Structure 1
Amino acid sequence: MLFTGLIRAGIADAPGTALEVSLITYGPGETYWERFGHDAIELRDRMSGEAVNFNYGVFDFDESGFLLNFARGRMTYRMDAVPSDEDIAYYRDEGRSVLRQRLALDAAQAAGLRDFLLWNLRPENARYAYDYFTDNCTTRVRDALDRALGGALHRALAARPGGPTYRQQTDRLMRAQPALMLLLDLGLGPYADRPLDAWQASFLPQVLAEQLRAIALPGPSGAPMALVRAETSLAAGRIAAADEPPDLRPPLALAGLALAALLLLARRRWPTGFAVLATLYLLAAGIVGVLLLALWTLTAHRAAWANANILLFSPLALALLATPWRVRRGLAPTGLAQTALTLQLVAALIAVLLHLLPGPGQQNQPWLLFALPCWLALAWLTRRPAAVAAGGIGE
């Protein structure tokens, strides 16, 4: 960590006319928390040659209570500053792309930005409450630049459409890690599907860099002047992010149909296998339901609140765990199980109706396509166990 006192007089005392401001954008990395990329503000004193990168992406796994706070959505990140050459060399050695965009800030704006960053770097000011989408290492960089520009950046970006949603960007960037991508998609609620303007969409480093390219602000003469004066690729990087999010509907629909068909086949051919498979599905659905409910009611993960997937994978499934084994023995489900299954089917129907309502809503069609065949198969196979068993092959 580079404390304020270690910054040489070049940056701290240089006049605004000597300060050069750049946005440094780092591409995605191999580790899951690096998939979204990273960025920093570089301040360079043209007279002394000193260059320092200010970034807002520092966290500590060993911090007391970090994992508990992470689960609760109450993460604390902090700001840091390191010599620019060291910072860039680290990311280049990690195989990540590095892009420098020199920005057209005038002397007063550059000096104001420098003063704010040095103030923000003080230990009493450096920490902040992290949010994945609205308050992260990139939005802090964006906000610092906007502050220096007198709000001009926000005015320009808020007037433009932002393109992909939080969910689509998350799926796109996590595409290389399918299991984690599916878990994140399952856990995101309707907040992740709301339309974004370009200001909100700039929560990602690459998007912010792209948006800055298109911005022109009034220059000294009043004529529009490009915000990005020059752009230099400092490292190509070996890790590329996908251009588009995957369409999860076909694979999850096929997986749901395959599981439903397997349940039907196993009930007739291998009743014990049916009971095991159905129990595993019900256990997984119940655990997912409990976790989704906890994310909504017990955490600060705003993007997980009011998740309609809880209608498809609910704690009600846990009340059905004994049912496949009763059916295996030719017994009817208990009254409690029948009630739980009826409520689950009604909940799934409500999830379908919510999806069909006009407006953006929650884009959980892939999970609807997965869950519905499974619940319909289970409802059919547990409704009339004696009739099914009569036509089946015993063990």
Structure 2
Amino acid sequence: MKQKFILLVCLILVGKQLHAQIPKLSEKSQISLLTCAAGDELYYAFGHSAFRVQDSVLGIDVVYNYGTFDFNRPNFYLNFVKGRLIYSLSRRSFERFLFEYELEKRWVKEQILDLTLDEKNQLLNFFETNFLPENRDYLYDPLLNNCSSITGTILKDQFGDEIVFDGSYLDQRYTFRQLVRQNLKLNSWASFGIDVAFGSVVDRKATVEEHMFLPYYAMRQIRNTTKDGKPLLARERTILDYNEIKQTSFFPLSPLFWFIVLLLFTAVVTYLDIKHSARSRWLDLALFSITGLIGLFLFILWVATDHTSTPWNFNILWALPTNLAVVYVFVFPQQVPKWFEKYLIAALVCMGIMLLIWLIGVQIFSPVLIPLLLTLAIRYVYLLKFTKA
């Protein structure tokens, strides 16, 4: 018991000593927000934000980066699927931070904040305390709690109601889905996959502060933010000046191309089936199996994970998880069961409800889905007629 007490006292004293080692910034110090350009990979497609603290008198020039994650963390991919991905605050020299963006030729802009010396030291103390091993990890959310949105959260937490985010610079308030689409080509597998995984919850309009989950909007917001009635932005400069990286695409590799091919192929096979009074079990087996698996995955994302962006996903009205339960109809050559006709009618009704949900704006679906929906409709209608014959 005595040894434990001594150990506890030592830990407290060490903690106080470490906290006391945080330097006091000089009058020449600056704290700024760094915004980095988007890249051509999905991970870099939205850009990046980080804080920079510099003091020429003390020889300090470091970047506090809330966008750090570790692939080697236990159960990384499982936690990613579950929506329990852990990100961390890292600290590195500005020179090392900048090297990556020089290498990839991505621009970097700096916005120096107009803060008093006490406020600068307050922020530095916050960053250093947050950087302690027991504090640096946080639960990441791509829309609500990421390296960019945390910018507004920190400013609000540290300076309270003195910080006012003016949203008059926005042409309009966008939904989360619209904001994500602004950074991705609509006819890309990344955009299509995100659109399908997102539920109707992302089709609400983001608040002015919530727009800051995208680094470019965070940068624009800093230009339109006041602290105690005065502009928060002291001045802005470009550190690395490169052209914006444009996403390239090749139509034959896009989802729309392959869904059109699938639609044409299904139409031809269905025509031959009609002509020969046949039923291509292999095609129906593939369609029902794939849509069933997609639907099951979307349902799991909805009810069994912590993702805030995947609940109430009405994509399961076309990707029916129950399709997996009826694939045996296409495997065995026996007569089609009587209930299958009602199932097909229900599947068509579900697709009709989905279109209605789309029209009234409850959930916005990817237009790339249209050829796929037509493919399913063709086979559902044909199978319905075949079962009645």
Aligned-partner residue type, residue 351 of structure 2: A
Counterpart selection for 2:29 from 10, 19, 36: 19
Counterpart check, 1:321 vs 2:327: yes
Match in the other structure for 1:384: 385
Counterpart selection for 1:334 from 321, 332, 337: 337
The 8 Å contact of residues 186 and 192 in structure 2, kept in 1 or not, is answered as no
Q: For the structure 1 residues 91 and 8, does the alpha-carbon distance in structure 2 shift closer, same or farther, using more than 3 Å as the test?
A: farther
Counterpart check, 1:174 vs 2:177: no
TM-score using structure 2 length: 0.82
User: How far did residue 14 of structure 1 move?
Assistant: 1.7
Match in the other structure for 2:108: 98
Counterpart selection for 1:129 from 113, 132, 139: 139
Q: For the structure 1 residues 256 and 302, does the alpha-carbon distance in structure 2 shift closer, same or farther, using more than 3 Å as the test?
A: farther
Overall identity of the aligned pairs, in % = 25
Match in the other structure for 1:267: 273
TM-score using structure 1 length: 0.81
Q: For the structure 1 residues 135 and 241, does the alpha-carbon distance in structure 2 shift closer, same or farther, using more than 3 Å as the test?
A: farther
User: How far did residue 69 of structure 1 move?
Assistant: 0.8
The 8 Å contact of residues 332 and 383 in structure 1, kept in 2 or not, is answered as no
User: How far did residue 77 of structure 1 move?
Assistant: 0.8
Deviations 1:220-279 (A, max 9, x none): xxxx4362422224231563469xxxxx99879956854652343342468889433332
Aligned-partner residue type, residue 207 of structure 2: D
SS of 1:373's equivalent in the other structure is helix
User: How far did residue 151 of structure 1 move?
Assistant: 3.7
Q: For the structure 1 residues 295 and 367, does the alpha-carbon distance in structure 2 shift closer, same or farther, using more than 3 Å as the test?
A: farther
Instruction: Figure out how many residues of one structure are paired with residues of the other and give that number.
Output: 369
Question: Superposition pairs for residues 46-85 of structure 1, below 5 Å?
Answer: 46-85=56-95
Q: For the structure 1 residues 274 and 78, does the alpha-carbon distance in structure 2 shift closer, same or farther, using more than 3 Å as the test?
A: same
User: How far did residue 373 of structure 1 move?
Assistant: 2.2
Question: Superposition pairs for residues 1-395 of structure 1, below 5 Å?
Answer: 12-15=23-26, 17-153=27-163, 155-157=165-167, 163-175=173-185, 178-218=188-228, 224-225=230-231, 227-236=233-242, 239-240=245-246, 258=264, 261-268=267-274, 274-324=280-330, 333-357=336-360, 360-364=361-365, 366=367, 369-385=370-386
Deviations 1:137-170 (A, max 9, x none): 1122232233344344454359967643322233
- Name which of structure 1's ranges 50-59 and 95-104 shifts more when overlaid on structure 2: 95-104
2:51, 2:170 → 1: CA distance?
24
The 8 Å contact of residues 72 and 298 in structure 1, kept in 2 or not, is answered as yes
- Name which of structure 1's ranges 43-52 and 188-197 shifts more when overlaid on structure 2: 43-52
User: How far did residue 126 of structure 1 move?
Assistant: 0.5
1:29, 1:283 → 2: CA distance?
35
RMSD: 3.5
2:90, 2:276 → 1: CA distance?
61
1:270, 1:97 → 2: CA distance?
62
The 8 Å contact of residues 65 and 91 in structure 2, kept in 1 or not, is answered as yes
User: How far did residue 108 of structure 1 move?
Assistant: 2.4
2:161, 2:213 → 1: CA distance?
17
The 8 Å contact of residues 320 and 341 in structure 1, kept in 2 or not, is answered as no
Deviations 1:291-333 (A, max 9, x none): 011111111112111101111111222244244567xx7x753
The 8 Å contact of residues 44 and 52 in structure 1, kept in 2 or not, is answered as yes
1:143, 1:232 → 2: CA distance?
24
Aligned-partner residue type, residue 203 of structure 1: F
Match in the other structure for 1:393: none
